[in-house]
Amino acid sequence: MEIYSTLASALTVASFIIFLGIVAWAYSARRKNAFEAAANEPFSLPDDVPHQAPKGSQR
């Protein structure tokens, strides 16, 4: 039963180290420009074209 406890502890420590690595990667200065570009991408889409009324209808 002790081996399961040891493996569970090792998995917890490994998961925490992976989490810290992801946080460091996300906040690194090297990735800042890419993340800013991705954050602004939805705003760079063209505006919606206004819909035209069907022929024969009056506005």
Calculate the alpha carbon distances from 19 to 40, 45, 59 in Å. 26, 33, 58
Alpha helix ranges (H) inside the chain: 2-26, 32-40
Structure tokens at 12: 């917890």
> Where exactly are the structural domains of the chain?
2-41
Count of CA atoms in the C-beta half-sphere (13 A) of 54: 2
pLDDT in tens, 14-57: 999 999 999 999 898 888 898 899 888 888 877 666 666 667 66
Q: What pLDDT, on the 0 to 100 scale, is given for residue 56?
A: 65
Q: What pLDDT, on the 0 to 100 scale, is given for residue 53?
A: 64
Q: What pLDDT, on the 0 to 100 scale, is given for residue 5?
A: 94
In whole angstroms, what separates CA 2 from the centre of its chain?
A: 39
Q: What pLDDT, on the 0 to 100 scale, is given for residue 8?
A: 96
Structure tokens at 59: 């506005």
Residue type, 56: G
pTM score of the predicted model:
0.57
Q: Is the pLDDT of residue 11 over 90?
A: yes
